[in-house]
Chains A and B, each alone.
Chain A
């Protein structure tokens, strides 16, 4: 048998031809694609609008400094996080400037201090006399072991946004509210059940016991600290046990007042439009996002300070945040620092951030600007900027530990267990839950300490 004839008598099947053809064509295509050019410095940001936000500032800078150009690139949140961490871990290229959200920035602080991928900005700030421009408490989420690695875009005080139309139609005067207890007592009549399904048609507060943001806001407000100033975990304090035990009745039992209207989803927003929830925790950036995306609520919402946990207590909290930092791999860091100052300390950015997104600047030099006193028709003519700025000195200090999210997750687990326990026993009052809360928090504390103890890179803060 001739082997050549044997082979040629059988044609290849279509699958092989199709895929071979695809391979040849696509390889040619990929080879012909021009390599992306890397001229000048690059800024990665995850917020779509920031790319546009900086457009005019960047254009002006690039005109004035043709040899140190800067361009902004918008990258999806998760991808930015991955690329930043891979860059810090393994030296793959990252941008020179990184604009990142709090939970991402935090991840960079786990290793040894000299391996943090961001440039230490502490000395630059001192040298330029800018340390006092921003309240020291505002820096903690962007610091590790006492060193500052990023400049925040804002300090994000939290107010309470409520459906003024519903509240005022019921003849309720919110100025009488000072504490959460006042709030629940006065607004309780709004939780009627007219459709007769045995459940209230409406709840007083948007939030849920398994939502880290809800619980983080409330714990911070109550000074229920998860870490001490030195960065050591302090989960098992009496205050934490008390607050978690008190929170159970918000989410379960006969006095439940909260419902889960999720943020940023269409379903959650529709629930808000229908008035399913009366009040929502409202940091400045979320107020801006509502004004842009939830237009049907214009003129129906007002802001008020958070009701306090106790009379005379703190009337605000903090939620979210974005910083800009310089990658250590960036050439000529001093020059990048100039870029950071130009972007983040400019009056122009403070103005765009407030006018477009209602984010109030953390820089004291801008706080007198008249725009902050302007009445905003979306919030029934309230001077939104001033309401947020009034809380500047009350914003709680947030922890800087890279284990913040783990600690919060453990606190959430404790709250979940407490809630289950209450539902099983039918006792929702804080007094009967507190002993269990103590016990669970002690376990959580041990678990977190074990986790931190196995990290040989993270030395105790000075």
Chain B
């Protein structure tokens, strides 16, 4: 783009002003403030006391925090190995010109991601209820040996959350894969076909390298999104403020929310938030390095 000399130097700032004003007040300032808060103990915004590194020292020895870390990491791994293959699989099924009704199926698979998390939580807690829930009652009528009182929500916390998250996001990421697959040059596939490559080999050696940039982005989205998992478990187990039975549903962000808004300790919540930020930045950097290595 060649530089234009005909505008006044204030013009770009004029266009940026509304955005920057809001961004400064509600993103940049709170971010700076959270750095200060992380060294304070608070009881709501009105009562604060400086405590130095105590919050960070405590977070390292806080068993509840480590429970939250374990649950979050478990969920993230499970989300990555369920959602990405499911999304890619659906996209591959739909990316065939000889299948009719592709747009209808794409629409169907995508609809769950329009539903808000609060509503997903309401629907799934009812679906997964003992006895009266749809999942147990239909499994019981299909397979009579299935226990109609199978305690999904009570004893299978992670599988329940993972199922809900899968239902919600598979179609969402599918759309990205579909867009990427449609950009794979047909000649490449044809050439591989003529060379006698089987379907798996064509996928492995032609399609996959072509869609790798999107795969990387999706992985980043799934992982960073899952590490911030909050609404789903919080609303599933609203009666225990998101802890769930034996704390199995407690995630890092749920814990942050509880300390900040139920205990009023915005300081400790900030410390937890910064630890999480470090993990996220670390993962993003790691992923970037791996992407670059893959390309070179």
Determine direct contact between A and B, CB below 8 Å. Answer: yes
- Chain A positions within 8 Å of B, measured between CB atoms, are 78, 81-82, 85-86, 88-91, 107, 110-112, 115, 210, 260, 262, 265-268, 270-271, 409, 412-413, 416, 447, 450-451, 454-457
Interface size on B, residues (CB 8 A): 32
CA–CA, A450 and B47, complex, Å: 21
Partner of B47, one of A86, A111, A409, A451: A111
A262 neighbours in B (Cβ, 8 Å): 130, 154
Q: How many A-B residue pairs have CB under 8 A?
A: 80
CA–CA, A82 and B260, complex, Å: 12
Contact in complex: B43, A266 (CB < 8 Å):
no
- Judge whether B46 is part of the interface by a CB distance below 8 angstroms: yes
Nearest CB of chain B from residue A111's CB, rounded to whole Å: 4
A–B complex contacts, Cβ < 8 Å, 19 sampled: A78-B238, A85-B262, A86-B261, A89-B44, A90-B44, A111-B264, A112-B47, A115-B43, A210-B245, A260-B151, A265-B129, A270-B131, A409-B247, A412-B246, A413-B247, A450-B58, A451-B62, A454-B54, A457-B49
CA–CA, A235 and B246, complex, Å: 18
- Judge whether B277 is part of the interface by a CB distance below 8 angstroms: no
Contacts A89-B43, A210-B245, A450-B62 aside, 17 further interface pairs with beta carbons under 8 A come to A82-B261, A89-B45, A107-B263, A110-B43, A110-B263, A115-B43, A115-B46, A262-B130, A270-B131, A271-B131, A413-B246, A413-B247, A447-B63, A450-B58, A454-B55, A456-B49, A457-B43
CA–CA, A268 and B130, complex, Å: 8
CA–CA, A266 and B44, complex, Å: 38
A270 neighbours in B (Cβ, 8 Å): 131-132
Contact in complex: A267, B264 (CB < 8 Å):
no
CA–CA, A86 and B149, complex, Å: 39
- Chain B positions within 8 Å of A, measured between CB atoms, are 41, 43-47, 49, 51, 54-55, 58, 61-63, 129-133, 149, 151, 154, 238, 243, 245-247, 261-264, 268
Of A81, A270, A447, A454, most buried by chain B (CB within 10 Å of CB) is A454
A91 neighbours in B (Cβ, 8 Å): 46
A409 neighbours in B (Cβ, 8 Å): 243, 247
CA–CA, A359 and B63, complex, Å: 39
CA–CA, A262 and B151, complex, Å: 11
A268 neighbours in B (Cβ, 8 Å): 130
Nearest CB of chain B from residue A298's CB, rounded to whole Å: 23
Nearest CB of chain A from residue B239's CB, rounded to whole Å: 9
CA–CA, A86 and B263, complex, Å: 11
CA–CA, A409 and B242, complex, Å: 13
Contact in complex: A454, B45 (CB < 8 Å):
no
CA–CA, A260 and B43, complex, Å: 37
